[in-house]
Amino acid sequence: ISFWQASSNGSRDNSYQGVIVAYNVIQGTHDAPLWFDDIAGGFDQPRDNRLHNNIVFMGQNGHLFDLGNPDGWTISHNNWPDRIPGVADEPNSFSALPSFADPRLNGPAVGYQLRLGDRSIGAGLPLTMISTDFWGQPRSTHPSLGIYEYSSSDGDLPITETPTGETPTPTATAVPPTATVEPTATAEPTADPHGTRLLISSSDGGQVGDVAYADEDVLAFDITTGQWSLFFDGSDVGLNGDVDGLALL
């Protein structure tokens, strides 16, 4: 879900206002699942935009939420399973792996129904402008996040905890993929508490495998699978300089 500003259009209304992004499950995107260009002065500034009751997974390139004008948004009551971006960090949002029925990319929507006990059930903000779920069922006064309004009459159906609905294919070797630019570490790699990842900060930008990074980012290398990912996107919290250290609390 995105808005990009056409550079060839100099009209003041080359902007956006009153956008409502609500009750979505966004997964499997190549780039950031939410991306709104920065609107500079001289154009109508974004305002009255809202982001509520969504379940949003990180994009395949490691980006999550690129938002140019956060002051024009009200953001709350979302589940960010990978991590909560800085611009969306507030008390009613959380990071938890959803328990979907049978989630498969490009599969049927019913696979993204929440199962009994999922944290997203009843965790939403009531929205008068959206009163039903994907199947036309009424939303509760304490609505669930995502496309499905869970009802107690649904009972305890089977739970699948793998987000894609597929069993990951084992990797035969832990050798990292060939990188176009090897990251230059500014400090010794930090071992992940679970012992499966190395966290690395680079003194400049580049690309490793298919993951692009800047000097304010922190890369993660999965020792088990040999895969690189973007663990921390510094642009989410307004950083534009080199990250010299990272503390995991």
Radius of gyration (Cα) for the chain, nearest Å? 20
Q: What is the mean pLDDT of each run of 10 residues along the chain (249 residues)?
A: 91 96 97 95 96 98 95 98 97 97 94 95 97 97 97 62 42 44 48 60 74 77 76 71 63
pLDDT at 171: 41
**C-alpha to C-alpha distance for 199 and 218, rounded to whole angstroms:** 7
Query: What torsion do the CA atoms of 47, 28, 206, 202 make, to the nearest 10 degrees?
Result: 80
pLDDT at 204: 72
Distances (CA, A) of 3 to 36, 63, 129, 158, 245: 5, 16, 22, 38, 33
pLDDT at 212: 77
pLDDT at 66: 95
> Which sequence spans correspond to the domains of the chain?
1-167, 168-249
- Cβ contacts of residue 9 below 8 Å, gap of 6+? none
pLDDT at 24: 98
- Cβ contacts of residue 165 below 8 Å, gap of 6+? 100, 102, 103, 104, 105, 107, 111
pLDDT at 247: 62
Phi, psi torsion values for 186, nearest 5 degrees: -90, -10
* 149-176 exposure pattern, b = at least 16 Cβ within 10 A, e = fewer: bbeeeeeeeeebeebeeeeeeeeeeeeb
